[in-house]
Amino acid sequence: MLPYSLYLHIPFCRHRCAYCDFNTYAGLDELIPEYTRALCREMAYSAATSGERLGAHSVFFGGGTPSLLPVDSLEAILGSLDQSFVLAGDLELTLEANPGTLSLDYLGSLRRLGVNRLSLGMQSASPGERRL
């Protein structure tokens, strides 16, 4: 098995939940294209400075709310990952998602891009408890 698991942090959310300690921001979606480019540059830099292309058996998009990323951003990040790392043929590719951000079209695009695992965050199925 290739040795590494990669975690990519996506620090954008629709709302900032009061109980959350993650490094994430609401209302800054206009920075997503710039953040995507920075993430791609960082991966290329890591590959260039490690002296070899490191091998990964899993990639996890966490946040924040990675499912706020438009498909073209995900495509660019996955392209950079592929150039910068050796990815396992049976790569586990996870995207953390907020159920409210998902549509059938978006899920189809995730599948096309190779995402094979979703991590859905939900504190409660009761609207009253969620408001609380």
Among residues 17 and 32, whose Cβ is nearest to ligand SF4?
17
CA–CA distance from 120 to each of 6, 90, 99 (Å)?
Answer: 19, 22, 7
Among residues 63 and 78, whose Cβ is nearest to ligand SF4?
63
Residues in contact with ligand SF4 by the rule CB under 6 A: 13, 16-17, 20, 22, 24, 63-65, 98, 121
How far apart (Å, rounded) are the C-alpha atoms in residues 5 and 90?
13
Among residues 73 and 80, whose Cβ is nearest to ligand SF4?
73
Among residues 83 and 124, whose Cβ is nearest to ligand SF4?
124
Q: How far is the CB of 111 from ligand SF4 (least distance, A)?
A: 23
The amino acid present at 24, given as its one-letter code, is T
Q: How far is the CB of 98 from ligand SF4 (least distance, A)?
A: 6
Can you point out the beta strands (E) in 24-79?
Answer: 25-26, 55-63
How far apart (Å, rounded) are the C-alpha atoms in residues 44 and 22?
25
Q: Are 9 and 63 in contact (CB under 8 A)?
A: yes
Q: How far is the CB of 30 from ligand SF4 (least distance, A)?
A: 17
Q: How far is the CB of 35 from ligand SF4 (least distance, A)?
A: 15
